[in-house]
Structure 1
Amino acid sequence: MVAVNAEGTGVSDQEAGLLAASLVSGGWESAAGALAAFAYLTLTTIQDGTSLYARLCAEPALIPTAVDELLRVAPNSVFGATQPRRVARDVQLGDVLVRAGELLIPSPHLAFGSGAHICVGAHLARLELQIALQQLTQRLPSLRLATAPENLRGRWDASVIRRPDTLPVTWN
């Protein structure tokens, strides 16, 4: 089917094949990296004496919102979905006028891009991450790190996909 559609648009079989392969590999690596990073962050972030992981175990209805919040605070890419953006023209955001040239940090995350540059797999990735966190918290509520967080190494700045190299965990 890809070859038939590509043929009608002037795209070669090789180009179509490379696009299909990049979509599959890009979708797998980024979702797997995000899940590892989310597990690390939820296990190591403590609020009111409880890890975020334990809270998601106790309140699974929070998982869809948690996925978006995790994507916002820990973007999957080193390109930093929440890096400050320079405003191209004056824009009114609620009660605040942001002037051209000023910097702002987006609140709704841009982890999947926006507009013409939005990730074609954004909806699938959100769903994958939600289901994965639901299954992980449901099946392994006693999950915890098997090593101290400072012993973990990761690809936080040196790789396009941010993730821990390994995430040793244990459970009861």
Structure 2
Amino acid sequence: MVHSEGERTLSYPIPNPAPLDPPEEWERLRGGCPVAGVRLPSGDEAKLVTRYEDVKQVLSDPRFTRRLDADDAARVADNESGGVFNTSMSSALPQTGEGHLRWRRMVSKWFTAKRMMALRPGIEEMAERLIDDMVEQGQPADLKASLGFPLPVYVICDLLGVPAADRDRFSYWSDTLLNMTRYGEEEIAAAQREFVEYMAAHVASKRAEPGDDLISSLLAETDSEGRGMSNEELVATGQGLLVAGHETTANMIGKMVAMLLSDRQRWERLLTDRSLVRSTVEEALRFDANPGFGMPRYITEESELGETSLPRGTTVVCSMASANRDASVFEGADDMTLDRSPNPHLAFGAGAHSCLGQSLARTELQGVLEVLLRRLPSLELAVPAEQLRQVEGLVVGGLREVPVRW
């Protein structure tokens, strides 16, 4: 069915009925209104796509751009800057064409699967130490605060060569950048100034005294024409990686463990068959019903999406989480199947802008799960799953805490 203007405009994001469950609207929209009108927290209107094929097309089609700073692009957040997709950090990095490919080639050398696998022993060692501390502090414990949050932060700080001791500041700056409704304009602007100043000072210190880290490497890196990254690009790259390394994996560790413990049979099955860790991580990524806002795109020319014609200047929001529950692609889409194969989920996006750090995220999630299964086989949720509380007011989804005992 083609979306008609008579269809009511939904408020977006659509709230989850329970922390680990998908909104019922997803299925209704996929079946009857795959390109739906939505109103964002800013009050601006956009189109929401929920079917797998449509989401994959939007994420892969170069006509659907990341030019979300265009005058007529929908703003996400209810503040002057419009949210993370409209910030100076986004505009400092080339979003399309050869410039984007050049930037991506230079950064992606640091995120190859081979390089990430070399980090695996260190990640597992760090998880062991964090679990030691959690056990020593006693139960019940908050798995997110004790393990889910600090582990990815230590890893990304190490990669960037910034002190992990500054992690509370990074966390605050990160949250203000990902704000939809949580922070006011003045607070966001002040936090972003501090964040840019901090990262600029870090880049300058690495220019003076290079180390064995990603920023030092990018300072020395040139493309095929002998051009390096500008200072503005280096600062924005550092900011982007710090935010991405913080929020998404930290939240995903908590959500993955909560999903597995919310049905004891899942955890028991993993205890008896550790070979399922890799496919379980992929299935947790697919099954995640609370990933946050999704991925917005802006159309620079009139485009077709399924049977719907979209005028130039439309902002389209992709719900990868809804696409990952599309029964036309995934058999038993609403079941968490730990050995699902193949599993072509879209949790990391698709096309030229698919997540740069996906090998790192996979390595962290697999490493953490291995260590938890080995160290705390009796792990369980300390509250009923429906009492878990969701992160609110940010473009990322997650659980505020994951209370556990063992």
1:128 to 343, 353, 364: 364
SS in 2 for 1:169: strand
* Contact 1:37/1:162 (<8 A) preserved: no
1:5 to 208, 217, 221: 221
1:63 to 277, 298, 306: 277
Please state how far the C-alpha of 1:6 moved relative to its aligned partner.
7.0
In the alignment, the residues of structure 2 paired with residue 130 and residue 2 of structure 1 have an alpha-carbon distance, to the nearest angstrom, of 28
- Of 63-72 and 16-25, more deviation after overlay is shown by 16-25
**1:23-62, aligned counterparts within 5 Å?**
23-45=241-263, 50-62=264-276
Aligned length: 146
Identity of aligned residues (%): 34
In the alignment, the residues of structure 2 paired with residue 131 and residue 60 of structure 1 have an alpha-carbon distance, to the nearest angstrom, of 12
Partner of 2:405: 170
Gaps of 5+ in 1: 86-92, 94-106
Max Rg structure? 2
The normalised TM-score by structure 1 is: 0.74
The normalised TM-score by structure 2 is: 0.33
Per-residue CA shift, 1:63-106, capped at 9, x if unaligned?
10011111111164431323349xxxxxxx9xxxxxxxxxxxxx
SS in 2 for 1:83: helix
1:21 to 214, 239, 247: 239
Gaps of 5+ in 2: 1-216, 295-318, 330-342
SS in 2 for 1:153: coil
In the alignment, the residues of structure 2 paired with residue 154 and residue 82 of structure 1 have an alpha-carbon distance, to the nearest angstrom, of 16
Label 1:158 to 1:53 Cα distance change in 2 as closer, same or farther (>3 A): farther
Partner of 1:137: 373
Opposite residue 277 of structure 2, the aligned amino acid is: I
In the alignment, the residues of structure 2 paired with residue 43 and residue 5 of structure 1 have an alpha-carbon distance, to the nearest angstrom, of 45
Per-residue CA shift, 1:41-71, capped at 9, x if unaligned?
11103xxxx4312221221111100111111
1:161 matched to 2:378: no
Cα RMSD between the aligned structures?
2.5
Label 1:53 to 1:159 Cα distance change in 2 as closer, same or farther (>3 A): farther
Please state how far the C-alpha of 1:166 moved relative to its aligned partner.
0.6
Per-residue CA shift, 1:115-159, capped at 9, x if unaligned?
21111111111111111111111111111111222322112x643
* Contact 1:144/1:169 (<8 A) preserved: yes
1:151 to 387, 390, 394: 387
In the alignment, the residues of structure 1 paired with residue 350 and residue 401 of structure 2 have an alpha-carbon distance, to the nearest angstrom, of 31
1:78 matched to 2:313: no
Label 1:55 to 1:114 Cα distance change in 2 as closer, same or farther (>3 A): same
Opposite residue 20 of structure 1, the aligned amino acid is: G
Label 1:84 to 1:168 Cα distance change in 2 as closer, same or farther (>3 A): closer
In the alignment, the residues of structure 2 paired with residue 6 and residue 21 of structure 1 have an alpha-carbon distance, to the nearest angstrom, of 20
Label 1:32 to 1:5 Cα distance change in 2 as closer, same or farther (>3 A): same
